[in-house]
Structure 1
Amino acid sequence: MGLLWAMQPDRPFWSLLKRDVQTPFVVELEVLDGHEPDQGKLLASAVHERHFLAPGVRRVPVREGRVRATLFLPPGKGSFPGIIHLFGSGGGLCEYRANLLAGHGFADLPEYLGEIHLEYFEEAVNFMLQHPKGPSIGLLGFSKGGDLCLSMASFLKGSTATELINTCVANTVCPLHYKDMIIPNLQNDLGKQKIISLIPLEKAREPFLFIVGMDDHNWNSGFCANITSEWLQTHGKEKPQIIYYPKTGHCIDPPYFPPLIASVHAQLDKATFHGGEPRAQSRAQVNAWQKILTFFQNISMVKKKSVKCSKI
C-alpha cells in the first residue's frame, strides 16, 4: 500500500481527505520508462478504487432537534452498538472514519463541531439511545473532539466506552457550557493556564483507550494521557489503556491515508506542523485502526462474523 500512503500533495499544506464517502477514491497508476513523467514512455497503467461504504451500509442524514449529523447503519436488521464520532477544531462532518466503522458493525454518528454547549451533544446521545441498536454507545474523539468526548463521559449518561486520539485533558479552543456550569478553555499562553480548565474525569464511569502519537506537535498527548491515567486511578477508577506510537504526529487517520504532516490550522489560520515521520505514521495508522475496532468490539461484544469486514 506504499503507493497510496506515500503520496504527497502538489500544493503546500494540502491534505487528502474524502468528503463524499458515497463515491470511491480513484487513483490512476502509471509505469513510465524513465524518470520524467512528461517524457517517459508509458509501459503500463491501472486504476485503483478505494470504496468507503461497505456493501449494505446506509448513510442517513440526521436532522433531529438541534442535531445535524450523518448516521451510518451497518447492513442487516440490527441491533447495532452505536459510536458518536467527534472530529477536531476544524469542525464539519468528516465521514470517512465513521462509515468505515459502520462496515465493522457499528452505527456511527459523526458530529459537527460548532459553538460548544454540551446540551447539543446530549441530544445526540439521546438520539442514539432511542435508535435501534445494541446496548452500548461508544465515544470516539480526535484532537478537540477528544476533550469533548472526555466532557461527555464525565457529565452525560448513556455512553459505555471512550476512545481518544491525541487529545488534551483540559477543555480547549473555547469555553464549554453545560446547564449553569462553564469550563473555561485552556489558554495558549502558558502563564495564563488555569486548573479550572481541567475536565472532572473522576465523574466518568466507562473504560478509556488513548491513542498517542509521540511526535504530536499540537498537544503533548503522551503527557495528557499519563495525567488522565494517574487522575483516574487516584479516584479509584480503572486504569485506561494507552498505546504509544513513536515517530507519529497529531493526525492519525484510518489506514493508508497519506500522513498529514503539516496543514493550515482552521482556528489559527496559519501553517501548523503536526509532526510524524511518514513511514512510521502509516504503520501506526494501520495498527491504531485495529486497536480501535478491538476496543469497541470488546466493549459491545460485536461478533465480527455478523459483518463481512476488510482490513479497513
Structure 2
Amino acid sequence: MSHLVVIPKVALADEPLRIQVSGLGPNQLVTLRASLTDEKGVLFQSKAFYRADNAGNVDLDRAGATGGDFNGVIPMGLLWFLRPEKRYRQLVKRDVMGSPFHVRFDLYDSFHMEQVPDVKPLDSQTVERWYVKPGVQRILIKEGRVRGALFLPPGSGTFPGVIDMSGGTGGLVEYRASLLASHGFATLALPYFGYDDLPRTVEQLDLEYFEEAADLLLAHPKVRGPGIGVVGSSKGAELGLAMAAFLNQVSAVVSINGRTALYGTRLRYRGRSLQGAPYCVERTLITDTGALVSRGLYGAHREEAHAGAAIPMEKATGSILFVVGEQDQSCNSAEFAAEALVKMRMHGKQAGELLTYPGAGHLFEPPGTPLCRETLMGRSPMPLAWGGEEVAHARAQEHAWCEIQNFLHKHIGKAGSSRL
C-alpha cells in the first residue's frame, strides 16, 4: 500500500519540508500535487511527475521530477512552483497569528495532467506552515504618531530590536516581522502610509516619524540596545537607508532591492529635506504579457537632476547589507547598491556588504514562498513586472534569509532559537 510522508507536519513557513513516498511498485509512475487556498480564497497549485526506484520508493531529496511544473532534483519544488488560479495574485500571509497556511499534498497513480473529480489520490497529507512560533506576542502599536505591530519572542530575556518595512503596497505588512520574532528578534512591523491615520499616499514623509518608532522600540523593556536594526524592501529599503544616514539609533540596515535615492517622495527631517527625483517614464518597457517593467523609471542619482534626492550614504554610522536580485524588473537595485558602496568607501566607510543573486527578481520573501513575477498594485494602471526565475529566486531567498539573520546577529546582538 502506497504511503506519502511529509515532515514536519507543523513548522514555521521558512523551514524546509521532507517529502517521501513508499509502498509503490518498482519504477511506478506517480504524480505529486500541492495545493493551498489563501485567505482571499485564491487557490495555488503545483504538480510534478516521478518514477519510483526499484524498491518502490520516491524521496524528493534524491529523486528528480520527470516533468510537470519542474524537472530535476528540487526537494522544495512543490512549494516553489505554487501558482495561483487567478492571474496577478501573490501568496501573502495576512493573519499571522490566527491560522497557518494549510498545504495539501496528494499522491496519484500515473501522470495526471489535470485534476479529475472521480480520480482519488492514493494518499494525502496536509501540513501547517505558520508565520509565528508558539509564545510570540503581537502587540498592536498606536503610540504618539507611531502605528504598527510589535512582535516579541517568547522568553524572559531581552532581545535585539528590528524595524521591518515593506515596499510600495502600503498598509501594515506583518509576515516577515512575525518570522523574525520567531527567530529571536523583537520586531516592529512599521507601516508608513495607507494604514490607520497615516498618510494615504507616500508622496511626502517625515523622518521624525521613523525616529519616533526607533525610540519607541528601544524604550521597550524587552528590547536591548544600544542600537536597532532595520530590514526594508523596495521603498522600505530607501527609508531604511535614510534612517542609517540620519538616525544614530540605527546600527544595521538590510536593504532588499532598494534605491539609494528618493523617487516620487519628499523626505523631511529637522528642517532639512530631500526632494524626490522625477520618474523617467520614457524609460519604461512593457512585457509581451502586458506588464510594466519599471526599472527604467529610476535614472542614476548621480545625474544633476537627481542629486538633491540622493541619500547621503557617506553619513551612515551603522553597517549596511545590500541584497539585490540581478533580474529585478522593478528597480536597478544592483546599480544603486554598487554606487552606494563606492560612495561609502570613498568617505572611509567600510561597513557595507553586498549580496547579489543571478536569476532573482524584486520580491524577495522568506524561504518557501513561491516566485511572483507580476501583480496588480495600488494605483498602477497596469500589472507590474517583478522578474526572476523560480528555482534561482527560491534558492536566493533561502540563502539571503540566513545571511540577513547572521548580519543582524553580528551587528545588533544574538537572538534566540527558532524551531516550533
TM-score interval w.r.t. the shorter chain? over 0.9
Return the match for 2:116 from 24, 30, 38. 38
Q: Is the 8 A contact 1:144 1:173 kept in 2?
A: no
Deviation at 1:140, TM superposition (A): 0.7
2:341 is the alignment partner of 1:265: no
Distance 1:81 1:20 in 2: 24
The separation in 2 between residues aligned to 1:299 and 1:36, in whole angstroms, is 50
Q: CA RMSD in A?
A: 1.7
**Alpha-carbon distance between aligned partners in 2 of 1:192 and 1:11, rounded to the nearest angstrom:** 43
* 1:12 counterpart residue number: 87
Aligned residue for 1:20, secondary structure, equals coil
Identify, as 1 or 2, the structure richer in helix.
Answer: 1
Q: Is this contact kept in 1: 2:207–2:243, CA < 8 A?
A: yes
Q: How far is 1:28 from its partner?
A: 1.9
2:278 to 184, 187, 192: 187
Would you say 1:50 and 2:140 are equivalent positions? no
| Alignment-mate amino acid for residue 206 of structure 2 | H
Q: Secondary structure at the match of 1:171?
A: coil
Displacement after TM superposition at 1:42 (Å): 2.2
The Cα of 1:31 is off from its aligned counterpart by 2.2
User: What percent identity do the matched residue pairs reach?
Assistant: 39
The secondary structure found in structure 2 opposite 1:147 is: helix
Unaligned runs of 5+ in 2: 1-75, 194-198, 200-204, 281-298
Change in Cα spacing, 1:194 to 1:257, as seen in structure 2 (3 Å) is same
1: CA distance, partners of 2:318 / 2:382: 37
Instruction: Summarize deviations over 1:175-223 as a string: whole Å, max 9, x none.
Output: 1122322211122125994211101111111011010100011111110
For 1:276, the equivalent position in structure 2 comes to: 388
> Which residue number in structure 2 is paired with residue 122 of structure 1?
211
Does structure 1 residue 234 correspond to structure 2 residue 234? no
Is the 2:263–2:279 contact (alpha carbons within 8 Å) kept by the matching residues of 1? no
Tell whether 2:350 aligns with 1:250.
Answer: no
Of 232, 246, 254, the match for 1:155: 246
1:161 CA drift (Å): 0.6
Instruction: Quickly say closer, same or farther: Cα 1:239–1:230, change in 2 above 3 A.
Output: farther
After superposition, where does 1:56-135 map in structure 2 within 5 Å? Answer: 56-114=135-193, 115=199, 116-132=205-221, 133-135=223-225
Contact 1:211 1:243 in 2 (8 A): yes
Partner of 1:25: 101
User: In terms of mean alpha carbon deviation, does 112-121 or 90-99 score higher?
Assistant: 112-121
Q: CA deviation at 1:267?
A: 4.4
Structure 2 residue 388 is the aligned partner of structure 1 residue 309: no
**Paired residue secondary structure (1:231):** helix
* 1:236 Cα deviation after fit: 1.1
Amino acid at match of 1:215: Q
- Aligned mates of 2:91, 2:206 — CA distance in 1: 30
Please, what TM-score do these two structures have when normalized by structure 2? 0.71
* One-letter identity of the residue aligned with 1:290: C
Matched, 1:172 2:284: no
- Contact 1:86/1:146 (<8 A) preserved: yes
Q: Which residue of 2 aligns with 1:293?
A: 405
How many pairs are equivalent?
308
For residues 114 and 251 of structure 2, the distance between their equivalents in structure 1, rounded to whole angstroms, comes to 54
Check the 8 A contact 1:6/1:258 in 2, yes or no. Answer: yes
- The offset of 1:139, in angstroms, is 0.8
SS in 2 for 1:134: strand
Q: What amino acid does structure 2 have at the position aligned with 1:156? A: L
**For 1:152 and 1:300, how far apart are their aligned partners in 2?**
15
Does the 8 Å contact 1:166/1:213 carry over to 2? yes
**Deviation per residue, 1:18-67 (Å, 9 max, x gap):** 00001111112222343330243321111111011112111111111111
Q: Which has the larger radius of gyration?
A: 2
TM-score, structure 1 length as denominator? 0.94
User: What are the ranges of 5 or more consecutive residues in structure 1 without an aligned counterpart?
Assistant: none
Equivalent position SS for 2:359: coil
Contact 2:376–2:382, Cα closer than 8 Å, also in 1: yes
Q: Which structure would you say has the larger RCO, counting Cα contacts within 8 Å and 6 or more residues apart? A: 1
- Number of the residue aligned with 2:312: 200
In the TM superposition, residue 239 of structure 1 has moved relative to its aligned partner by 4.4
